[in-house]
Amino acid sequence: MRRHHFAALLLLATALVGTAVPASSATTTAPAGTRPYLDQRLPVKQRVADLLARMTLAEKVGQMTQAERGSVDNDQGRITNLALGSLLSGGGSAPSPNTPEAWADMVDGYQSHALATRLRIPILYGVDSVHGHGNLVGATVFPHNIGMGATRDPALVRRAAHITATETRATGPQWVFAPCVCVTRDERWGRSYESFGEDPRLVSRMTTAVEGLQGGNTRDLARNDRVLATVKHFAGDGDTVYGTSTTGDYIIDRGITRTSHKRFAEIDLAPYVTAVQVHDVGSVMPSYSSVQWTDVPGSEPIRMSAHKELLTDVLKQKIGFDGFLISDWDAIGEIPGDFATQVRTSVNAGMDMFMQPYNAPQFIQTLTAEVQAGRVELSRIDDAVSRILKAKFELGLFERPYTDRTNIGTIGSAAHRAVARRAVAESQVLLKNDHKTLPLKPSQRLYVAGVNADDLGNQAGGWTVTWQGQSGNTAFPGTTILQGIRKNARNVTYSSDASAATAGYDVGVVVIGETPYAEGVGDVGVGGHTLNLSAADKANIDRVCSAIRTCVVLDVAGRTQIVTDQLPRTDAFVMSWLPGSEGDGVADVLFGKRPFSGKLPVSWPRGEAQEPINVGDRDYDPLFPYGYGLTTP
Ligand code: GLC
C-alpha cells in the first residue's frame, strides 16, 4: 500500500472517532454548513468528489488548461473568466524586478483572480526548477543533473531537491517541471545534461529528487518547503534516433525512439516506475518525441502526447500513476491533424492538463466543442479534473492559496550554497592524474587559461535566468572556478586566451568547454554545436601544455567532448560538467579540500561518430567507460 493511501485511511479513521489528524498547520474546524470540499478534515477523495459535482463543463475544461503568464499578465481577469487551472513561467519568464518578493507578489496577484471564480478554485503555478529555482536571480544554482548523476549520491540529490523546493515555494510556485528522468543514450542530444545518465538503474536511483521536492508522503505537499514534482519527459526522450526529429531545425531532440516493448521497459520506462511506485510523484510530462515499435510489424511513430497505450494503459493502469499528466509546451501541436483532432487525440490518450501558453481560449473552446459533440467522453474530463484537484487539495491550496514567505530569507543562503558546493565537488570526475598532479599545492605558481575558467553563465548552462542561459558574470551571483582557485593559491595568473607570457609557472590550468544552450538548440549539428573542441580551446591547450611543465585540463560542458587528440598533452584531466553557481566546489577538489569521487554517468566517446555509445553495447570501446573515475585521498 502506498504511503498516501495509508495516510488517507489514518485520516478517515481518526475523523470517524472525532480526532482529525493535524494538517501541517494548526488544525481548524470548519464552520457549520461548510461545503465538504472546503472542509480540510475530510479525505481528499471526498473533497474532490464534492467539488467535481458542483462544477460546470466550462469550469472543468478551464481546470485542464494552463497558460503562460505572459498571455494574461496585462489582462488578469482572463484567469477568472477562463477559470484557468494553472499558469506557468516558461524558461526566463520572470517578473521585473526578478526578486523573490516580486515573484511572490506576481504569483499571488494571479491567485487572487483565480479565487474570484465562482468556486474559488486556486491555480497551480508551475516553473522549471531543474537545477535550483533557475529562473530566479539569487537562487542557489545546483549542478545540472548530469553532474548530480556523477556524484552517485541519491541522498545528496534528495537534499538538493529539498533546497530547490524550499526556494521555489517561498517565491510562489507550488509546482516544478522537474526532475527530468530522461535516460540519455546519445550525447549529441541538446538535453543530455538534463539527464542523470545513460544507465536507467542510475537514473532510477536518482529519483530521490522527487522525494526531496515533494517530501516523504502526500501530507508533506502542503508544507511551505515542498512542491509538486513532475517527472519528464515520458518516455524515451533521451533514446531517440539521431536525425529523426521532424520539428523545426532540431536533429535529435523530439525525434523517434525506435525500440521494442522489452527494451523500452528496461531503458526508458524504468525510472518512471520508481518515481510513481516508490516516490508517488504527483505529475508526469509526456515527451514531444515519438515511439515506433520494432516488435510490432508496420508500427508507425506515435507522438507521446497522443500515445494512449503508454499514457493510459501502461502509465496509469499498469504502473498505477494516480497523479496528472501535463503536456509539454504546445506539444499537442505536433500531433498530426487539425487543432480539434490534436486536442481530441491527446485528451482521449490520457493527457489531463494542457500547456497552451498563448492559445488557452482556443483550446478551451475546442475541447468544450469536442465534449459537446460526444467525441470526448465526460468521464474522461472528470477523470482529468479529479486528478488535478487531488494535487491542489494535497498542496493545501484551498486552505493557504497565497505564498507562505517564511523561507524567503533562505534563498541563496550560505547554508544552501554550501550544499551546492558539496554537490559540485562530488560531481567532478577525475579522468587522468599522471604523477599525482592533483591535488594542487597553494604554493604552486599557476597559469590559468580559458574563458570557462571565469564565466558564471557558462558554468551554469541553460535554464538559468533565461531559457537558453547566457555567458558572462552579470546575470546572477555565484563564484567562478577561477575565483575558487584564487582563494586557494597565492600566485595565479589568468589569461583567457593564453596570450600572456607562460614562463615561470609550475602548473598550467586550461578550462575548456561549451557555452550555454537548452533543448534542441543544443543538438549537435544545430547552430554549429558539435562534440569537438572549439579552435580556441584547442589553441589554449596547445600553447599552455607545450610551454608549462605540468598541465591540468578541466572541461566545463553539458556533455562529453572529443579530447582524444589533446589528452596525451595533459597530466591531469577533469570533467566538471555544468557546476552552477558554486565554482568553489571545483577548487575544493583541485586543492584536496575534498577528494575526487565522481564517476562517469555516461560513456566517453573517442569521436563523435561513436555516438550513440552506451555501457552494455557490443564492441564497447569508449575513451573512458561508463562508471570510470579516479579518486584522490
Ligand atoms: C519546454 C521543455 C520542458 C519544460 C516546458 C516548460 O519546452 O520541453 O522541459 O518543462 O517547456 O518550460
Over residues 113-171, the pLDDT tens digits come to 999 999 999 999 999 999 999 999 999 999 999 999 999 999 999 999 999 999 999 99
Q: Output the pLDDT for position 248.
A: 81
In a domain, 616, yes or no: no
Chain centroid to CA 575: 21
Tell me if 500 sits within 8 A of 448, measured CB to CB. Answer: no
Query: Which residue positions in the chain have pLDDT lower than 50?
Result: 1-28
Q: Is residue 508 part of a domain?
A: yes
The C-alpha torsion from 601 through 604 and 609 to 615, rounded to 10°, is -50
Residue 378 lies in a domain: yes
The edge-to-edge listing of strands for the beta sheet with 256-259 is 256-259, 290-293, 302-303
Q: Total domain count for the chain?
A: 2
pLDDT at position 33: 73
Residue 582: φ, ψ to 5°: -105, 75
447: helix, coil or strand? strand
Residue 192 Cα to ligand 1 midpoint, Å, equals 14
Ligand 1, pocket-test mutation among 144, 176, 177, 468, most atoms within 8 A of CB = 177
Any atom of ligand 1 within 6 Å of the Cβ of 194? no
Cell numbers linked to 632 = 584522490
pLDDT in the model for residue 2: 42
Residue 16 domain-assigned (yes or no): no
- Are 307 and 442 members of one domain? no
Together in a domain, 305 and 391: yes
Cβ–ligand 1 contact at 177 (below 6 Å): yes
CATH number of domain containing 439? 3.40.50.1700
Ligand 1 atom at minimal distance to the Cα of residue 177 = 10
68 within ligand 1 shell (Cβ under 6 A): no
Query: Residue 391: CB partners within 8 Å, gap ≥ 6?
Result: 124, 175, 221, 228, 282, 283, 323, 324
* Domain assignment present for 356: yes
Cβ of 232 below 6 Å from ligand 1 = yes
pLDDT in tens, 550-581: 999 999 999 999 999 999 999 999 999 999 99
Please state the atom number of ligand 1 nearest to the C-alpha of residue 467: 12
Q: Is 271 found in the same domain as 356?
A: yes
Reported as type and span, the H/E element at residue 155 is: helix 154-169
Q: How far away, in angstroms, is 327 Cα from ligand 1 center? A: 9
Tell the residue nearest (CA) to atom 8 of ligand 1.
Answer: 328
198, 259: one domain: yes
Q: Mapping DSSP to helix (H, G, I), strand (E, B) and coil, where does residue 124 land?
A: strand
Q: Is residue 27 part of a domain?
A: no
Residue 421: its H or E element: helix 414-427
Q: What is the DSSP string of 189-215?
A: STTGGGSSBS-HHHHHHTTHHHHHHH-
Using the mean position of ligand 1's atoms as its centre, give its distance from the Cα of residue 329 in Å: 6
Could you say which of 519, 537, 571, 584 is catalytic?
A: 519
Domain harbouring 75, CATH code: 3.20.20.300
Say how many C-beta atoms besides its own lie within 10 A of residue 546's C-beta. Answer: 11
Q: 560: buried, middle or exposed (CB in 10 Å: 19+, 13-18, 0-12)?
A: buried
Any ligand 1 atom below 6 A from CB of 91: yes
Residue 179 near ligand 1, beta carbon < 6 Å: no
Q: For residue 373, is it within any domain?
A: yes
Contact 457, 470 (CB under 8 A): yes
- Residue 524 structural domain: 428-610
Cβ contact 301:290 at 8 Å = yes
Residues 448 and 574 in one domain: yes
pLDDT of residue 34: 80
Mark whether 493 and 394 lie in a shared domain. no
Check if 328 is active-site. Answer: yes
User: Of 357, 368, 302, 366, nearest to 326 (Cα)?
Assistant: 357
State in Å: Cα 4 to ligand 1 middle. 28
Residue 388 sits in the same domain as residue 486: no
Q: Which residue minimizes the CA distance to atom 3 of ligand 1?
A: 328
Q: For residue 10, what pLDDT is reported?
A: 44
Torsion angle of the four alpha carbons 197, 146, 510, 450, in this order, in degrees rounded to the nearest 10: 130
What's residue 29's pLDDT?
A: 54
pLDDT of amino acid 97: 98
Q: 369 and 434 share a domain?
A: no
Is 352 near ligand 1, meaning CB less than 6 Å away? no
Give CA–CA dist 442/425, Å, rounded. 18
Do 498 and 580 fall into the same domain? Answer: yes
Residue 186 to residue 610: CA distance in whole angstroms: 9
From the CB of 43, is ligand 1 less than 6 Å away?
Answer: no
Tell the residue number behind the cell numbers 596570450, with chain if given: 499
Residues 473, 564, single domain; the answer is yes
- If one residue of 231, 328, 356 were mutated to test the ligand 1 pocket, choosing by the most ligand atoms within 8 A of its CB, it would be 328
Measured in Å, residue 488 CA sits from the centre of ligand 1 at 39
Nearest-angstrom CA–CA distance, 245 and 254: 6
As a whole number of angstroms, the distance between CA 476 and CA 138 comes to 6
- The answer to whether the CB of 468 is under 6 A from ligand 1 is no
Determine which one of 153, 167, 186, 328 is catalytic: 328
> Which atom of ligand 1 is found nearest the CA of 180?
9
Is 101 one of the annotated active-site residues of the chain?
Answer: no
Does ligand 1 come within 6 angstroms of the Cβ of 329? yes
In a domain, 630, yes or no: no
Same-domain pairing of 355 and 485: no
Q: Which atom of ligand 1 is nearest to the CA of 178?
A: 10
Q: Is there a single domain that holds both residue 305 and residue 255?
A: yes
Last residue of a domain, one of 349, 378, 409: 409
Residue with CA nearest ligand 1 atom 7 = 329
Distances from the Cα of 13 to the Cα of 9, 204, 335, 528, angstroms: 6, 34, 46, 62
In short, whether 328's Cβ falls inside 6 Å of ligand 1 is: yes
- Where does residue 292 rank: exposed (0-12), middle (13-18), buried (19+ CB within 10 A)? middle
